[in-house]
């Protein structure tokens, strides 16, 4: 939805999706395209690119600060847990909510995510309809009821 068509009661929610799986990127984009809340999904493919986006470095210099981050754990170059630790250790980024969206059901990953101050941990469901349901549930909670910190 174009930003200029939004009313003051319909803020555009900026979402950063950090995901290396093309099918999961496409599913997530499709699910958010049908969202009731206006949003824009930005996609980066690994942890290094995520930090460059968040710090607005290089080609990401003009990008907006995301309202929420969906972060995979198992990625090339820098894992989601490493990225999460860096985000939460950076005063300029620490207030951005981070939800882990991953295939990992490992108790160590769950514990490690919350120890690094993740705001949620969602295991990606198997199957298209189940995945869409999970994204819609995310939308219902995070994009309808949650108040995000102000963008800096």
State the Cα–Cα distance between residues 53 and 58, nearest whole angstrom.
8
State the Cα–Cα distance between residues 99 and 24, nearest whole angstrom.
15
Q: Residue 43 in 3-state DSSP?
A: strand
Give me the domains of the chain, ranges plus CATH numbers. Answer: 13-140 (3.40.50.2300)
Task: Dump pLDDT digits (tens) for 77-128.
Answer: 999 999 999 999 999 999 999 999 988 899 999 999 999 999 999 998 878 8
Task: Dump pLDDT digits (tens) for 24-81.
Answer: 899 888 888 877 778 899 999 999 999 999 999 999 999 999 999 999 999 989 999 9
What is the value of pTM for the model shown? Answer: 0.87
Give per-residue burial for 90-129: e unless 16+ CB within 10 Å, then b. Answer: eeebeebbbbbbbebeeeebbebbeebebbbbeebeeeee
């Amino acid at each position: 939805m174009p930003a200029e068509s939004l009313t003051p009661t319909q803020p555009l929610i900026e979402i950063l999706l950090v995901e290396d799986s093309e099918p999961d990127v496409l599913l997530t984009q499709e699910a958010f395209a049908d969202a009731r809340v206006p949003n824009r999904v930005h996609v980066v493919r690994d942890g290094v690119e995520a930090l460059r986006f968040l710090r607005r470095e290089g080609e990401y210099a003009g990008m907006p600060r995301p309202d929420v981050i969906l972060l995979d754990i198992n990625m090339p170059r820098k894992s989601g847990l490493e990225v999460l630790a860096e985000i939460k250790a950076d005063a300029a980024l620490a207030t951005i909510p981070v939800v882990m969206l991953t295939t990992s059901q490992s108790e160590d990953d769950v514990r490690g995510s919350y120890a690094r101050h993740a705001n949620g941990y969602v295991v990606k469901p198997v199957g298209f309809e189940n995945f869409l349901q999970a994204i819609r549930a995310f939308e219902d909670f995070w994009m309808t009821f949650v108040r995000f910190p102000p963008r800096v």
